Amino acid sequence: MHLLISHASAQEPHVEAALRELELPALSQLLGLLTATETLGDDDHAPLPPHELALARLRGVDDDALPVAAWRLRDAGVAPGDAAWALVTPIHLAVGADQVTALAPATLGLTEDESRAFLEALTPEVFPAAQGWATRWLAVDTWAVSHPSLDGQMAASLDRILNRAVETWMPTSRPLRTLLNELQMVLHDLPLNQARDTRGLRPVNAAWVSGCGRDRGHALPADLLVDTRLREPMLAGDLYAWSESWKALDAGLLSEALHHVRGGGALQLTLCGERAACRWERRPAGGWQRLKERFSAPQVQVAKALEAL
C-alpha cells in the first residue's frame, strides 16, 4: 500500500506554530517504524507543488511541464488521444491596493448549469473549433481544452495561485499570457456575469490555465491511495479546520496504516508540503524486531518532520 497525503505542511510562520501544537500520535509512531527514502522538490516558489511532482514520478514522468489535464481526462475514463490539453479553472481576481489576489472557485458559488453556460459562452470567442480548439466540461470548477499550441507550455498549478498575489505566478509563455488576457476580456462583457452581479454574486472575471501537455507516462499504481482532505482548509488559510482534518487523518487512516505495519504489512507513505515531498518506506522486519517494536516503539517528532516539507 502507498499512501500519499498532500498539503501536509507549508513554509509559513503561522503554519509552523500550528504544527508545534498539533498532536498526531499515530503518525509519530508510524514514522518511527518507517525509513525516509526519497525527497522531491526544494522550492516553494516552483510552479508545480510537490504533490504533483510526486504523482508524476509515480506515473514514470520526471519533467517540469506535466500534462495534468490529459491525466485527469484519462483517470476520468476519457481518452485524451494525442492532443495537447490544459485545465481551465474559473476564478475571481480581487483587486487590492497592492496586489491582485486569486480567489478559489468555491467562493463563486457556481452551479453546474452556470458553469456549463460560461464554458459554452467562451467557446466561440476564445476556443473556436474552426481554429483547432476542443473543449470538455469536467466539473463545476474545472474545464479541459485542447489545442496544439498548449503542448509543453509551463504554467503554475492552481494550488500555487489561490489566495495569493497572482502576478507572481503569471506564465512567461506568450501564448499562455495571451490566452489568459483573452479569457479576462471576454468574461468581462458576458451577460452571465451581469446577471450574477444583480444577484449579489462575485463575477467570474478570470480563468486560470494549467496542466498543459500531451498524455504520456503510465496510470497511477493500483495500490496508491491519495488523500486530499487537507487541501481545502490549507488553501483557504483555515488552520483550525486544517488541524482538525489532520487529527481525523491520524485517528482514522494513519491509525489503520500503523496497525497494518505492526502486523508485518508493507507500506509507503508520501507526505507533501509546499516545498518538498518526502517518501517513507517500511523496510523488511523480522519477528523479533516487530516484537521489540511492539513494546518499545520508536517515535518521531511530527512537527520537525512536517516543517521540513
Cβ count within 10 A of residue 306: 24
Give pLDDT tens digits along the chain (309 positions).
999 999 999 988 889 888 989 999 999 999 999 999 999 988 888 999 999 999 999 999 987 789 999 999 998 888 899 999 999 999 999 998 889 999 999 999 999 999 999 999 999 999 999 999 999 999 999 999 999 999 989 999 999 999 999 999 999 999 999 999 999 999 998 999 999 989 999 999 999 999 999 998 888 999 999 999 999 999 998 999 999 999 999 999 999 999 999 888 899 999 999 999 999 998 655 554 555 556 556 678 899 999 989
The H-or-E segment that residue 270 falls in is strand 268-272
Contacts of 175 (CB under 8 A, 6+ apart): 149, 150, 153
What pLDDT shows up at residue 141? 96
Angle at 207 between CA 117 and CA 242, to 5 degrees: 105
What pLDDT shows up at residue 63? 78
What pLDDT shows up at residue 218? 85
pTM over 0.85: yes
Residue 135 C-alpha cell reads as 473543449
What pLDDT shows up at residue 73? 93
Residue pair 93/79 in contact (Cβ under 8 Å)? The answer is no
Contacts of 295 (CB under 8 A, 6+ apart): none
What pLDDT shows up at residue 127? 97
